[in-house]
Structure 1
Amino acid sequence: MTLDRLVCANCSGPVSEGRCPTCRASRARMMEQQGLFASLSPATLIALLAALIACVVIARHAFA
């Protein structure tokens, strides 16, 4: 999940803006937990998956 989509239950503002201490704590925690693909959007991940599948199909036809 990305920060721009989270809404704080305490202040009803976007967590990415950090309006209250709860938002700032959540934002800091999520920044620490980000992995390799955390900064990529879902559309980018789908495009990468489609490209990987296409490469596998091409390689399979080339070596078959």
Structure 2
Amino acid sequence: MSCEHLICARCSGPVVEGRCPTCRTARAEMHRHGGASSPTVVLAVLVLLFCLAMALQRLY
């Protein structure tokens, strides 16, 4: 979802233009959550895979 088609309920302007503080906050919120996974999630997955590999190594 992008903010290009959203209309602000406060100022009735496009959120992408950021006319009021509500628009700017919504635009920042939309852009902050997009993209790659956070480093914490990646690290947790790597630790989990390492533990799984160590457990499988002990079995065989």
On whether the aligned pair clears a TM of 0.5, the verdict is: yes
Structure number with larger C-alpha Rg: 2
How much is the aligned-residue C-alpha RMSD, in angstroms? 1.1
State the Cα distance separating 1:35 from its structure 2 match. 3.0
User: Normalization by structure 2: what TM-score?
Assistant: 0.56
1:19 aligns with 2:31: no
Q: Would you identify which runs of 4 or more consecutive aligned residues in structure 1 move more than 6 Å?
A: none
- 1:10-30 CA distances to partner (integer Å, 9 max, x unpaired)? 000000000000000000011
For 2:8, the equivalent position in structure 1 comes to 8
**Following superposition of structure 1 onto structure 2, how do residues 12-51 of structure 1 map, counting pairs within 5 Å?**
12-35=12-35
The 2-side partners of 1:27 and 1:9 are apart by: 13
Q: Which sections of structure 2, spanning at least 5 residues, go unmatched?
A: 37-60
